[in-house]
Amino acid sequence: MKILDIQKLQANEVYDELGTNDKGLLGSEAASRLERYGKNELQKKKAVPVWRKFLKQLTNFFALLLWVAAIMAFVGEALSPGEGMLNLGIALAAVVLINGTFTFYQEYKAEKAIEALQRMLAYNAVVIREGKEREISAGEIVPGDVIKLAEGNRVPADARLIEAYELKVNNSILTGESRPSKRNAEASEEDLIESENIVFSGTTVVAGTGVGVVYGTGSATEFGRIADMTSEIVESLTPLQKEISKFIKVISAIAIILGLAFFSIGIFIGNSFWVSFIFAIGIIVANVPEGLLPTVTLTLSLGSQRMARRNALIKSLNSVETLGSTTVICTDKTGTLTQNQMTVRAIYANGREYSVSGGGYEPKGDVLEEDNPVDVQGTESLNSLMRCGSLCNDASLSKEEDLWNIIGDPTEGAIKVLAAKSIDIEGLDKEHSRIFQVPFDSERKRMSVVVRSADGIVCYVKGAPESIISRSTRIIEDGGIRALDDGKIKELEARAQEFSDRALRVIALSYKTLDSEKPKYDKEELESDLIFIGLVGMIDPPRMEVREAIDKCKSAGIRIIIITGDNPQTAQAIAKATGVVEGEGCLAVTGKELNTMGDEELKSLLAQKEIIFARTTPEHKMRIVTTLKDMDEVVAVTGDGVNDAPALKAADIGIAMGISGTDVAKEAADMILVDDNFASIVNAIEEGRAVFANIRKFISYILTSNIPEIVPYIVYVLAGVPLPLTVIQILTVDLGTDLAPAIAIGAEPPEPGVMQQKPRSRTERLLKKSTLLRSYGFVGPIEAAAGLLAFFWLLQQGGWTGGDLPATDLLYQKATTICLTAIIVCQIANVFVVRSPRLSIFQQGFLSNKKILIGIAIELVLIMLFVYVPPIQAILGTQALGLKDWLFLAPFAVFLFVAEEFRKYVIRRRMARSAVGA
């Protein structure tokens, strides 16, 4: 029941428009509206069934290719039994099922963002129905309900206030602004989101009380609107997913073309259909890296585990690499770059400015730590400032393990903490009793309290500098009180402006002594002829570690853009303090200005090196993120509030804060910073870059064995010799011996200087020309030569003089075994030299990645099982090898190792010469 411009209506008009009154709805009417408008809950998006998600893993392009081959093998077995088609079909089907199951298990992620939004709605609320207060479930609230709000309550629905008594709400989860917002019941001409007579579902009451009339529930609330935005976002493929997809299609296309070509050649030279079919399947299986998908998935999983140890929790495996290719980080200010805690940073009193750190404060430039505070008792101006700050204050404190907990307004809490670190506020409260107060309001911009003590009656007043300075006639300085002349007034105003320019929120403090106690004071008289004490400046400070983290991001070629709901001045100050902005001419664009811009103008702004967005809404953040993506940027978005959720989900990678983050932000994000430390992003980026480099390395490793798997089939067809390697044996390499070392390569630590490089371009392919040349043109042919030479050497040793041999012939089986073993032995050498495209293994160290040794150990165990265990020999068609056979293979591995080390040495020499020439 949305009412147009409800914020502009008077209280009686609100009741009329919503069909209710100050006694609330009748029970029957509430039930009717509940049926009409539904429960005060967010609509759940229909989940994709688990079976459908699993089926998707079995029907991708790569899987379909193997399914077709398996079905053809089964058909071949039915039409021509005894040709080995059954085992081949079973093996191919098993490949698809294993890959699909493993990938599904690793990537399975339930979509919980809407459920998290649901949980954030208040569970219970106090309503007035039929003139009586009732506590009901928040889900039963309907439009027209009259609700009561008090400090600590969570607002259960969007409502228009009818009464407000010193009411303040925390809207940070919606707006991102940490400062509590004052609420009132007066009609407003502002936009709905800016109106002070509106409270929103999911926000919290931090002070005061109020009564409101509900006008929006469930999905009709501002909260619900954000939920709809989040659920409607279609997740796009990550850069890695796109690259893997392209890689699989290219390799599969090559495999199919070669398979068809050699099938035709087989038929042409007179081979039977099924012999040619086996040959074609062998070519296809040899070309397609069956172990790629599980290896990629495991590598991403290992990367996510390493990130978790560095306080970055990855929810989506593909996000591991995406973070490494990030070019822009759009970050919120409050709670992300800052501590989300108002803190006093500067004091002006006694004619001097004091910097504040912990519990100490000294003249600017000489800051004391908390364990060595200033003795305020000897400084009357500071002592008066602390007394005023503590007594003219409605916040309360508690302390647990050296941490202050503030109950009430954070601004007042910051001043209270400052006083508590300097004087005995508990003793002060016991010595003084409050007898009268004039609450703060936005028109007067000040608050006054009258307190009684043994020393007499004193009125303390604090508020906006202009409201206090204009009512002060004297000032306390150097332990004495003197007249406040025009020169001093200008000095105070200039100092207040200077604080403000530094993005400090400035509060002025003053007092006056009263002659006698009265039951009631005239506030105009009470707040005049004041004695000015001083100024305090406070800010939500930057996190200490952020500056270094941002510097590292910049050195890695990553731009930082602040997008906040706070004001431009504060955003700019934080940007400068954290190093996001270094120049003086940084552009700060507000949400209103953004509304007037076209897409091209926005793109032009986003192309600038330094830019800040302030006073933004969730729609603004979404637009900025999507525009950056349209500009081919890889966008990471950080945030912790509900207002960040749509942008977090729309980004290439969303990063939520683990401690301060809302459930909504965490569920919408791909990564969670467990320690809320922006610096952890840098560590995660480094790991992400390493993951992509490692995937490229193990692809080179896997592709290398394709050549020695393909060449035997070409020789078989063209030379009319026995087939040196069977299809089943190829699968033992691709899905057996190659897997463990490939996974170990995926665990390689980041290479030196990885964070000094620019982000990877979206146009940079995973499968580079240099990778193909290394695998197919250099190392692969060495392995192919090793396999064929070993095959024919063993046949010759066994007395073979030419012609074909039956598959059951023991000599033939032993020859295929040594060919298979030659490939595996060479791959053991390859796993050492593939660890870096340029560094020598002697620079890296043989033991720097112990998982490589484990992978080789597994590889050796597998080949021993393949060669010496009779049941496995029967399946694979292998025979036992002797010591002489193993010694024959060793030189090939040594040659490969030396050749690749020499090739990398040449590359390093060329790079060194290029660097000198530059």
Token pair, residue 524, equals: 């105009």
Q: What is the DSSP letter of 521?
A: -
Answer whether 136's CB lies under 8 Å from 124's CB: yes
User: Of 641, 853, 809, whose CA–CA distance to 120 is shortest?
Assistant: 641
Token pair, residue 729, equals: 């044996």
Question: Parallel, antiparallel, or unpaired: how do β-strands 587-590 and 611-614 relate?
Answer: parallel
User: Of 776, 782, 779, 826, whose CA–CA distance to 254 is shortest?
Assistant: 776
User: Of 41, 107, 114, 240, whose CA–CA distance to 668 is shortest?
Assistant: 114
Question: How many angstroms separate the CA atoms of 360 and 550, rounded?
Answer: 29
- Please identify which of the residues 332, 663, 676, 734 carries the catalytic annotation: 332
* Secondary structure of residue 197 in the 3-state scheme: coil
H-helix or E-strand spanning residue 461: strand 456-463
Burial class, 159, CB count within 10 angstroms (exposed 0-12 / middle 13-18 / buried 19+):
buried
* Secondary structure of residue 158 in the 3-state scheme: strand
H-helix or E-strand spanning residue 447: strand 446-453
The owner of tokens 């069909």 is 19
What is the Rg, in whole angstroms, of the alpha carbon atoms belonging to the chain?
36
Question: How many angstroms separate the CA atoms of 477 and 537, rounded?
Answer: 19
Q: Angle between the 810-833 and 679-704 helix axes, to the nearest 10 degrees?
A: 150
Q: For this structure, is 332 an active site residue?
A: yes
> How remote is the C-alpha of 186 from its chain's centroid?
41
Which residues share a beta bridge with 129?
Answer: 25, 132
| Maximum Cα interatomic distance, the chain, rounded to a whole number of Å | 125
Token pair, residue 334, equals: 């409050």
- How far, in Å, are 69, 73, 273, 519 from residue 93 at the CA level? 9, 10, 22, 91
Strands (E), 519-652: 530-539, 559-563, 587-590, 611-614, 635-639
Question: How many angstroms separate the CA atoms of 71 and 862, rounded?
Answer: 28
User: Of 404, 391, 410, 395, whose CA–CA distance to 359 is shortest?
Assistant: 404
Question: How many angstroms separate the CA atoms of 494 and 487, rounded?
Answer: 11
Which residues share a beta bridge with 25?
Answer: 129
Question: How many angstroms separate the CA atoms of 726 and 668, rounded?
Answer: 48
Q: Cβ neighbours of residue 915 under 8 Å, at least 6 residues apart?
A: none
Answer whether 306's CB lies under 8 Å from 677's CB: no
Sign of the CA dihedral running 564, 570, 576, 582: positive
Sign of the CA dihedral running 228, 232, 238, 239: negative
Question: How many angstroms separate the CA atoms of 801 and 215, rounded?
Answer: 94
Question: How many angstroms separate the CA atoms of 111 and 75, rounded?
Answer: 41
Strands (E), 333-432: 343-349, 352-357, 360-363, 396-400, 403-407
Token pair, residue 230, equals: 């989040």
Token pair, residue 89, equals: 């079909």
Q: What is the DSSP string of 807-847?
A: TT-HHHHHHHHHHHHHHHHHHHHHHHHTT-SSS-HHHH-TT
Q: Angle between the 706-719 and 273-287 helix axes, to the nearest 10 degrees?
A: 160
Annotated catalytic sites, by residue? 332
